[in-house]
Amino acid sequence: MSTSTSTDTTPTEPIPTAPAPRLGSLVRSEVRRATSRRALVWMTALASLAVLGVAAIMWFTTAAIDAADLSEATDRFRAEQQQFYEQCMADPAIPEAEKATACWQPSEQEIADNAIWALPKRPFDQGAFEGLLTFAGGVGVLVAIMLAASAGGADWGARTMGLLLSWEPRRLRVFLVRLVVAMVLGTLVIAWLGLLAVGLGVAIGSAHGLAADAVGAFGGWQPVSASDGTQLAVRWLPLAALAAAGGYALAMLTRSTGWAIGAAIGFVAIVESIVQNLWTWGSQWLIQTNIAAWLSGGIQWRVEANPVTYGSGPVLDELPPGTIVITDTRAIAWLSGLVLVGVLVSVLGFLRRDVE
């Protein structure tokens, strides 16, 4: 008796798998997630209130100034200084030999230069306008960093990164899409704050500005220029994009929103201050220095040949003579390069590290 066995050779069908989402689906998903966060609403609202608060302070501490106000302030300052001089000369407690130096009688030029202190309020000039714009830009950059860090660290904190990658397993695409969304969002926030600051500044300048006959007084007071203010506000846009990229990269690298924000602020506020005090020549590579160079269209300062001393000891390096020049192009290129390096390190870590 013989036995026979038969083998079923019917081909089995492959297990169906869900198709990878399209790029547009991922973009729409990340945009919805970014714009639905309460942090976006609250931070933007608080930043707007801060700009409004500073503008309100400027409104109540400034006033319209014309040539008549300047003349009145000059006369008042002259009278006050003359009274002080006469009282000083008549003071018996001051030796006669010292009265020539102790009792100051200003010249007409010194009176004209210092009569600003006799004004009850100063005008809202171009310098004050740029100060308002700089405040708005600084707050906007901080908000961009915090929003981007929150976007990068939220999934790590909630332990949902694995779920996201199970839907879209292409890690590089996920990283880049979220990076671009964070940069665009940060740019839009600072654009709104800049627009708000420009509108408020122009309004205050029209009510509390300089009359035509007072332009150029006290070191060059200039009336508010909406075009110059807009140009300064526009210069903050790429800084916000870079700040958002840096905040997102730090959050993805550290897998923590708090660590990313703390590292960014701590480096600029503490580490750079130490470097600036110990190594003056190296200050040209600091983030703060290059931001100032970009905003002002370039900066320069002269370095003396003699070693500079701070406190009890000399600086680490002898400073060569000459003038350090940082153009705005060099500044933005350097800042972009720093952020690019951080993004590359972060994306390499994201591609190679396991998702817990």
Q: What is the pLDDT of residues 36-70, one digit of tens each?
A: 788 888 999 999 999 999 999 999 998 888 878 77
Same domain, residue pair 79 and 99: yes
Determine, yes or no, domain membership for 5: no
- Of 100, 118, 136, the residue at which a domain comes to its end is 118
- Of 78, 95, 118, the residue at which a domain comes to its end is 118
> 64 near 215, Cβ under 8 Å?
no
Same domain, residue pair 250 and 286: yes
Range 271-284 average pLDDT: 78
pLDDT one-digit tens code per residue, 123-155? 888 889 999 999 999 999 999 999 999 888 877
Determine, yes or no, domain membership for 331: yes
The pLDDT, as a whole number, for residue 326 is 80
Segment of 236-245, 291-300, 309-318 carrying the highest mean pLDDT:
236-245
The pLDDT, as a whole number, for residue 249 is 92
159 phi-psi bin (left φ>0, alpha ψ -120 to 50, beta other): left
d(CA 230, CA 25): 36
The pLDDT, as a whole number, for residue 306 is 40
- Averaged pLDDT score across all residues of the chain: 81
pLDDT one-digit tens code per residue, 80-130? 888 888 888 888 888 887 777 788 788 887 777 777 777 778 888 888 999
- Number of structural domains found in the chain: 2
- Of 118, 151, 182, the residue at which a domain comes to its end is 118
pLDDT one-digit tens code per residue, 293-312? 899 887 665 554 444 433 33
Same domain, residue pair 89 and 158: no
The pLDDT, as a whole number, for residue 309 is 36
Same domain, residue pair 77 and 171: no
Same domain, residue pair 218 and 157: yes
Same domain, residue pair 234 and 311: yes
The pLDDT, as a whole number, for residue 107 is 81
Residue range of the domain that includes 167: 23-65+119-352
Range 201-223 average pLDDT: 78
Determine, yes or no, domain membership for 174: yes
The pLDDT, as a whole number, for residue 11 is 53
Determine, yes or no, domain membership for 28: yes
Determine, yes or no, domain membership for 7: no
Same domain, residue pair 311 and 211: yes
If one compares 55 and 264, the residue with the highest pLDDT of the two is 55
Range 21-40 average pLDDT: 78
d(CA 99, CA 107): 17
If one compares 156 and 172, the residue with the highest pLDDT of the two is 172
232 phi-psi bin (left φ>0, alpha ψ -120 to 50, beta other): alpha
The pLDDT, as a whole number, for residue 314 is 37
Same domain, residue pair 58 and 98: no
Determine, yes or no, domain membership for 75: yes
Same domain, residue pair 89 and 200: no
User: Which of 336, 352, 185, 141 shows the shortest CA–CA distance to 253?
Assistant: 352
Range 17-46 average pLDDT: 78
The pLDDT, as a whole number, for residue 322 is 57
User: What pLDDT band is residue 214 in, cutting at 50, 70 and 90?
Assistant: low
Same domain, residue pair 102 and 136: no
Determine, yes or no, domain membership for 9: no
306 phi-psi bin (left φ>0, alpha ψ -120 to 50, beta other): beta
Task: Say if strands 322-326 and 299-303 run parallel, antiparallel, or are unpaired.
Answer: antiparallel
The pLDDT, as a whole number, for residue 355 is 66
Same domain, residue pair 33 and 170: yes
d(CA 272, CA 316): 15
Same domain, residue pair 58 and 75: no
Determine, yes or no, domain membership for 143: yes
Residue linked to tokens 């870079």: 242
The pLDDT, as a whole number, for residue 315 is 37
Range 241-263 average pLDDT: 90
How far from chain centre, in Å, is Cα 186? 12
Say whether pLDDT at 276 is over 60.
yes
